[in-house]
Amino acid sequence: MSELAIHGGRPLRETPFPGRGGLYGEDDLAELRQVIDQGSLFRFDGRKVREFEEEFARLYGVKHAIACTSGTAAIHVALMALELEPGDEVIVAPVTDAGGLIPVVAQNAIPLPADTAPRRLCMDAEGVAARLSDRTRAIVPVHVAGVPADLEPLLRLASASGVPLIEDCAQAHRAMYRGRYVGTMGRIGCFSLQQSKQLATGEGGVCVTDDDDLGERMRLCMDKGWVRGPALRAYPVMGLNYRMNELTAAVALAQLRKLDDRVAARVRIGDAIGRGLEGIPGVHAPVPAQGDRNTYWFYGLYVDDGVGGLSPVEFASALAAEGIPASHGYVGRPMHLLYSPVLERRAYGPTGCPWTCPHAGRNVQYTPGDCPNAEDALQHLIMIGMNEFYTEREADDIVGAVRKVACSG
């Protein structure tokens, strides 16, 4: 085996990995031109946002799709539609983006992270069961990095406890759990269209549901609670202005038509990497279970301590030195440790609300060890950048570099 690049050897890969510069083209421009020609960028003057919602709903086979301004907004719209009250509790993913958590606090509710299974990033039913209380008003699993959460036990638990489950699919467009698209199995599915996502429009979000009542409420919550139509204005529910504009929807429409081909490219390469990594001692690839589809927002693999004589942090650095877009640990620490200075008791200044609110049912604290599996998984996680422009060459180089580093010790 040749010398590792971190020790002065020749990197396995000497040219950059493909970027996503080719995402947009003439079809996006054609859609955008129609918006410019219509003379207004406002969704209620034009057709594009409505068309995008209709096409998104059709693609997922759901009754309602409500476009909004971001994945954060989508989660907030969903929580507003569920009519959360101050002091309510929401069970959240331990490994997520701040945008999945802040809406909980914005509703004056208290986020409670539920642990994952060992060496997994998605919350599991055991972790949720340990957090459920009579104050729980929503369970929000994240399909982290395109890997579907194990939904069946989560849905069973949600149904038995009468708590709605909201799927956060920000990182998992077109991922599947047992043959069904994620986002279509919970009461609500929430998506982000932020630039790094499988469906990318710079910013944007979508909520989906089959529930007519929730669909109607989410439409209102996305639009300041405004019932459009009657001459006398009415705002029967609390809402914010999370309206998508026509320019974003024009690009979203053009991109949506290419989504399945692009996701198929990610799946082909991601699955090939998984096959290539089989049998490397101490390296654990995210191989999808039967009927599942991982759509590889990033490629997350786990390495045991000491593989190649390295810690996981050193392993990631060694891979990066080999020319692989690798880093250690994704968000580094789970939400209850990473975000606690912001979310815990300082969201609304010195009041400590909502944690210290008289409506809160208990004194929630966040401490190391709350989600031991998630904490351990992040310690051992190697995150490799992925996109739809990778080819077999990138798959081979990733596998070759992991093998080189793992077998170097």
Stretch that binds ligand PLP, among 45-53, 94-102, 220-228, 276-284 (CB under 6 A): 94-102
How far apart are alpha carbons 42 and 105 in whole angstroms?
A: 29
Q: How far is the CB of 170 from ligand PLP (least distance, A)?
A: 3
89 close to 104: Cβ distance less than 8 angstroms: no
Q: How far is the CB of 105 from ligand PLP (least distance, A)?
A: 14
Closest to 122 (Cα-Cα) out of 152, 156, 90, 151: 151
Name the residue nearer to ligand PLP (CB basis): 92 or 285: 92
Stretch that binds ligand PLP, among 41-49, 167-175, 248-256, 384-392 (CB under 6 A): 167-175
Q: How far is the CB of 353 from ligand PLP (least distance, A)?
A: 23
SS3 1: coil
Q: How far is the CB of 90 from ligand PLP (least distance, A)?
A: 13
Other residues' Cβ atoms within 10 Å of the Cβ of residue 269:
23
Stretch that binds ligand PLP, among 23-31, 66-74, 154-162, 385-393 (CB under 6 A): 66-74
Residue 312: asked if its preceding bond is cis (omega within 30°), the reply is no
| Nearest residue relative to ligand PLP (C-beta) | 71
177 close to 155: Cβ distance less than 8 angstroms: no
Q: How far is the CB of 142 from ligand PLP (least distance, A)?
A: 4
Q: How far is the CB of 100 from ligand PLP (least distance, A)?
A: 3
One character per residue 95-114, x = contact with ligand PLP (rule: CB under 6 A)? -xx-xx--------------
Q: How far is the CB of 289 from ligand PLP (least distance, A)?
A: 21
Task: Let me know the angle formed at the C-alpha of 388 by 384 and 391, rounded to the nearest 5 degrees.
Answer: 80
Q: How far is the CB of 378 from ligand PLP (least distance, A)?
A: 14
| Burial state string for 333-366 with b = 16 or more CB within 10 A and e = fewer than 16 | bbbbbbbeeebbbebeeeeebbbeeeebeeebeb
Interface residue with ligand PLP among 108, 116, 136, 194 (CB under 6 A) is: 194
Q: How far is the CB of 175 from ligand PLP (least distance, A)?
A: 12
Closest to 342 (Cα-Cα) out of 105, 22, 67, 24: 105
Q: How far is the CB of 165 from ligand PLP (least distance, A)?
A: 15
For 47, counting Cβ atoms within 10 Å of its Cβ (0-12 exposed, 13-18 middle, 19+ buried), the class is: middle
Name the residue nearer to ligand PLP (CB basis): 192 or 248: 192
- The answer to the question of residue 192 lying near ligand PLP (CB under 6 A) is yes
- The answer to the question of residue 171 lying near ligand PLP (CB under 6 A) is yes
Interface residue with ligand PLP among 5, 48, 56, 71 (CB under 6 A) is: 71
Instruction: For residue 348, give the DSSP letter.
Output: T
- The answer to the question of residue 198 lying near ligand PLP (CB under 6 A) is no
Stretch that binds ligand PLP, among 69-77, 229-237, 366-374, 398-406 (CB under 6 A): 69-77
- The answer to the question of residue 168 lying near ligand PLP (CB under 6 A) is yes
Name the residue nearer to ligand PLP (CB basis): 170 or 399: 170
Q: How far is the CB of 30 from ligand PLP (least distance, A)?
A: 25
- The answer to the question of residue 222 lying near ligand PLP (CB under 6 A) is no
DSSP 167-229: EE-TT-TT-EETTEETTSSSSEEEEE--TTSSS--SS-EEEEES-HHHHHHHHHHHBTT---S
Number of helical H runs and strand E runs in the chain: 13, 13
Number of residues that bind ligand PLP (CB under 6 A): 14
Closest to 146 (Cα-Cα) out of 351, 399, 383: 383
Name the residue nearer to ligand PLP (CB basis): 204 or 308: 204
Name the residue nearer to ligand PLP (CB basis): 189 or 215: 189
- The answer to the question of residue 205 lying near ligand PLP (CB under 6 A) is yes
28 close to 201: Cβ distance less than 8 angstroms: no
- The answer to the question of residue 116 lying near ligand PLP (CB under 6 A) is no
Q: Tokens 């069904």 identify what position?
A: 180
Instruction: For residue 140, give the DSSP letter.
Output: E
52 close to 32: Cβ distance less than 8 angstroms: no
Binding site for ligand PLP (CB under 6 A): 70-72, 96-97, 99-100, 142, 168, 170-171, 192, 194, 205
